[in-house]
Amino acid sequence: MNLPALPLDRFEVRLREVLRSRVEFIELIGEDLAAAGGKRVRPSLVYLALRALGAHQHPQEHDLAVAVELLHSASLLHDDLLDNADTRRGQVTAFRRFGNVVSVMSGDYMLSKVLVLLSAMPQCLTRAFGETAAAICEGEVLQFQVAAYSEYSDANYLEIIRGKTGVLIELAASAPALLLGSPPEQLQALRTYGLEYGLAFQMQDDLLDLASDEATLGKPIGGDLREGKATFPVLRLLDSRDAAEVREILERRAAQAGDVARVRVLAAEHDAFAATRAEIERRSRLAVQALSVLPPSPARERLEALATLEAQRVK
């Protein structure tokens, strides 16, 4: 049996409905978000998890998918400002177009809409969204703290990417179980799946930032090094005989010509890229294994495939 097409068209309609505002600048930012599209990974996870739990249609599924996407989008609006980013998905970032105040307040507007959507759902979802939002903030601040203090470690890195990506994908995968009141073992399975898949997802992003090329990635490589971020392959180099040189490059934010190229050479020499790919595959396997408590279904197979194929993503 083939899995029916996910109702992403209805999701897009509902997203636009929720983002409507009588204030033109907020309306324009909302329209940019809706028009930008993207892979819609998180809304897709909401629908897939519902189907895997046996709910082939739920009256609040679109609102739940929109709430997850809005939490993600609000964090991106704030991230772009913090990172001083010029573009997002090939478009000029909101704060470059409209200024800092408009961008930040539009992100806050999205968060307020999340609360409105959650008000009609089980209370446990409000807590889950609140805890996720707090973890996102902690991860973002920790990332700056680690770079400022040069506190590079595997533990800090995992905590950063948990907040940056893991907790939101965990929420997308597990929120349907909270909506349905599913058994605790199914809720935990989807939480584990989402977190491990999210960690693998971010590790792959971090790997591509250093191991890929600009033509494939669509942006300059080495961005993390220039921000003083020690990602998984770089952490492997900090445990190598060339640790002192790599630490110097990190601490000067790869400011000298050839810094990024040098780290790429060292990463290849020390098999840091291979070690990162192995860790991504391990996390993906953990995600797939967690789903074994759910009954077999096309939706579960699709969830498993998303995690399994993560290591093959090229951008």
The secondary element (H helix, E strand) that includes residue 295 is none
- As a whole number of angstroms, the distance between CA 227 and CA 79 comes to 13
pLDDT of residue 31: 80
SS (H, E, C) 97-161: HHCHHHHHHHHHHHHHHHHHHHCCCCHHHHHHHHHHHHHHHHHHHHHHHHHHHCCCCHHHHHHHH
Domains of the chain: which residue ranges? 1-37+61-120, 131-315
- As a whole number of angstroms, the distance between CA 200 and CA 229 comes to 17
**Distances from the Cα of 260 to the Cα of 143, 221, 232, 303, angstroms:** 20, 8, 15, 35
User: What is the dotted CATH code of the domain comprising 131-315?
Assistant: 1.10.600.10
- As a whole number of angstroms, the distance between CA 67 and CA 118 comes to 8
Among candidate residues 71, 82, 144, the one with its CA nearest the CA of residue 108: 71
- As a whole number of angstroms, the distance between CA 159 and CA 132 comes to 13
- Supply the pTM of this predicted model: 0.93
pLDDT of residue 1: 45
pLDDT tens across the length of the chain (315 residues): 456 689 999 999 999 999 999 998 888 887 877 776 678 999 999 999 999 999 999 999 999 999 999 999 898 887 766 666 665 555 666 656 666 677 888 889 999 999 999 999 999 999 999 999 999 999 999 998 999 999 999 999 999 999 999 999 999 999 999 999 999 999 999 999 999 999 999 999 999 999 999 888 877 899 999 999 999 999 999 999 999 999 999 999 999 999 999 999 999 999 999 999 999 999 999 999 999 999 999 999 999 999 999 888 888
Say yes or no: do domains 1-37+61-120 and 131-315 share a fold. Answer: yes
pLDDT of residue 35: 73
Write out the DSSP string of 3-21: PPPP-HHHHHHHHHHHT--
Tokens coding 125: 């979802």
- As a whole number of angstroms, the distance between CA 143 and CA 163 comes to 10
Tokens coding 2: 């083939």
Look up the CATH superfamily of 1-37+61-120. Farnesyl Diphosphate Synthase (1.10.600.10)
